[in-house]
Amino acid sequence: MSRYEDLTSELLMGMRLYGVKYQRIALHAPFGLQYEDAPGKAQLHFVGRGSLLIRSASGVIYPLQAGDALLIPHGKPHALISDEAAVCVPITTFNSRPICDSVCAIGDGVDVCPDDSDVILFSACMAFELGGMQPLVHTMPDVMLVSTLLAQYPEIQPILDAMERETRQRKAGFAGILSRLADVVAAQIVRGWVENGCGKGSGLVQALRDPRLSLAMAAMHREPGENWTVERLARESGSSRSVFAARFQSATGMTPLRYLTELRMRLAVERIVHEGEAVESVAFHLGYGSLAAFSRAFKRIVGTPPGALRAEREMR
């Protein structure tokens, strides 16, 4: 692995990509299902039987066959269609029936799990969080196809084969098995994109590829609670203060200390919301000498006080 791959793999160890809502969809042609905007969520579609087209928010058409999978990382509006002339209706208008806690069956008839469907899909709406590396999400393409990874990552194919079998056969427990396999496929798509250089991504990606800036980036991510100054970060990168500051600003569009503050706040949100850590503890571990200073920085970056976020979590 290259130094870039080593660093990004290390920094993505805290990746959270997991389904919050799953759907087994059975359809008869012609059909057109419209998915609305879902900010902060990713959408995975897997075709278990038949073929269809997916029309992205920009109007690009992607043909999918049985065994294909596709990830829409930004949760942008898109449509599943039988042909380009198909009329689309919101997926929320289709008949739906729960299969288990997080999976429901959706169909275009009274029976939402018919045996004669032209197309069967398994779809997952996913929470998509990369912790300190969250800015990478903004550099991802609107659509990510698993087919582009199969030659390089042949281990994905058996997972897709298993998904196809489970989608078609509907044996006992198939919904739970499909949901777990969908999580794995989505994570594989993201990992493949990162390991292949994040496409044409700029900003954070450019800084991670820079042999000097990446040293300072790694230092901040590994020890976000350290009392970092521009001078210390410049030493980590082996550059003078002025050269480092200018190079960092050019690559990321922000100062090193602004980047550090945003990194700390992303980690703070993760620790408060997902790990249930006390606000005072989070502030201490992220290098703040007082709760007041942490709260001011948190509200400035996140837009809401940390206490409000904590209270919202406790009400769930």
Two tokens, residue 38: 């879902």
Residue-level length of the chain: 316
Average pLDDT over every residue of 130-153? 81
Given a cut of 70, is residue 125 above it in pLDDT?
Answer: yes
Average pLDDT, the chain: 85
Q: Which residues contact 287 (CB under 8 A, 6 or more apart)?
A: 224, 225, 226, 227, 264
Cα separation, 233 vs 249, in Å, equals 13
The β-bridge partners of 41 are 127
Residue 44 lies in a domain: yes
Model confidence band, residue 243 (pLDDT cutoffs 50, 70, 90)? very high
Tokens of 114: 């018919």
With contact defined as beta carbons under 8 Å apart, do 20 and 126 qualify?
yes
Strands lying side by side in the sheet with 78-81: 61-65, 51-55, 78-81, 32-35, 89-90
**Mapping DSSP to helix (H, G, I), strand (E, B) and coil, where does residue 24 land?**
strand
**pLDDT attached to residue 80:** 95
Among residues 205, 208, 203, the alpha carbon closest in space to that of 220 is found at 208
**Does 90 share its domain with 32?**
yes
Q: Please, which pLDDT band fits residue 14 given cuts at 50, 70 and 90?
A: low
CATH number, residue 218: 1.10.10
Q: Please give the Cα distance from 123 to 89 (Å, whole number).
A: 17
Q: Is the pLDDT of residue 316 over 70?
A: no
CATH of the domain at 311: 1.10.10.60
Task: Answer yes or no: do 152 and 207 share one domain.
Answer: no
Give the residue numbers spanning the domain of 186.
15-195
Residue 91 CA to its chain's centroid (Å): 22
Residues 84 and 168 in one domain: yes
From 210, 234, 253, give the residue that closes a domain. Answer: 253
pLDDT tens readout for residues 36-55: 998 878 899 999 889 999 99
- 257: burial class by Cβ within 10 Å (0-12, 13-18, 19+)? middle
Q: Where is the domain boundary, 253, 271, 289? A: 253
- Residue 36 has a CB neighbour count (10 Å cut-off) of 11
Structure tokens belonging to residue 315: 């009400």
In 3D space, the residue among 110, 90, 123, 108 whose CA is nearest the CA of residue 23 turns out to be 123
In a domain, 87, yes or no: yes
Task: Look at residue 241 and give its three-state secondary structure.
Answer: helix
Residue 7's pLDDT is what? Answer: 66
Q: Tell me the per-residue pLDDT of 258-313, one tens digit each, with 9 for 90 and over.
A: 999 999 998 898 889 878 899 999 999 999 999 999 999 999 999 999 988 877 76
Residues 191, 242 within the same domain: no
Global pTM reads 0.73
Among 130-134, 195-199, 222-226, top mean pLDDT goes to 222-226
